Structure 1
Amino acid sequence: MHPSLSVIRKRSDFLAANRGLRVARPGFVLLARPNEGQGKRYGITVTKKIGNAVVRNRMKRRFRELLWSALPESGLPNHDHILIGREGGVERDFAQLREELGAALVRAAEGKGDPARGPRKRRSRRA
């Protein structure tokens, strides 16, 4: 791991980042949010919709490597960066993912993101 990066582990930090800037790409969604001077931090989320544990872990390893190579130079200072895996992210070429992450970080630095999502609607439980 890169010495200037730290990992986000608390659920509350992930939820806070979800209220920040989001930049969607074919293989992932990047969330970026200021973190009050805690340095560059990163987190990775891959849901069970993506596939079985082997597939999800492979995607997380690829994302981790992407973030380690990109964030020290082009990450936003004092921001949390979270990558959310999308359906096509496992099959995508690694070089292509690196380019998309670079473009997403540039957009986030310019403050140009997709609008933040509002609170999720609760589904009613059927009896």
Structure 2
Amino acid sequence: MLPDPLLLPEVRRLRRRREFLFVRDGLAERRRTLVVQARARVGEDPGSHIGEGFTATKKIGGAVERNRAKRRLREAARQLLARFGRPGWDYVFIAREGTLTHGWARLLDDMESALISLART
């Protein structure tokens, strides 16, 4: 059974470079299709929003491939982050070469397992 959408925390996008650099110094979980970095925000109440950011390097391919990889990560995060992410934390999802080549179910499984592992620490 899915949780009530009204009880799920709000998810906000990370947009500034300093936000991404802040998260980089936190925890990280690596999977074949993606890397998830996470870090608790300082000085905020634990019931606040969840931050999300997405990135893909030139190793992934040209602009078309990078954009497609980020679209896949955004959709997967839309489905999973509010349920498995921790309020008061920021998450950065980094595309890997497998983000485009592996199936959708594998991407969802990898993201879910990474988020669960990060929530335990």
TM-score scaled to structure 2, two decimals?
0.86
Written as runs of structure 1 = structure 2, the 5 A alignment for 1:24-43 is: 24-36=30-42, 37=44, 38-43=48-53
Counterpart in 2 of 1:9? 15
Counterpart in 2 of 1:89? 99
| 3-state SS of paired residue (2:32) | coil
Instruction: Give the superposition deviation at 1:55.
Output: 0.5
CA distance in 1, matches of 2:103, 2:86: 24
Match of 1:102 among 99, 112, 118: 112
Instruction: Give the superposition deviation at 1:73.
Output: 1.1
Counterpart in 2 of 1:70? 80
| 3-state SS of paired residue (1:90) | helix
CA radius of gyration, larger in = 1
Task: Tell me the C-alpha RMSD between the 2 structures.
Answer: 1.5
- Contact kept in structure 1, 2:9 and 2:82, CA below 8 Å: no
Q: Mind listing any 5+ residue stretches in structure 1 that lack a counterpart?
A: 112-127
CA distance in 1, matches of 2:39, 2:18: 13
How many residue pairs get aligned? The number is 110
Counterpart in 2 of 1:56? 66
Cα deviation digits, residues 34-92 of structure 1 (max 9, x gap): 12335101000101111011111110110000011001111111110110111121111
Give the number of the structure whose residues are more often helix, by fraction: 2
Instruction: Give the superposition deviation at 1:3.
Output: 8.1
CA distance in 2, matches of 1:107, 1:72: 15
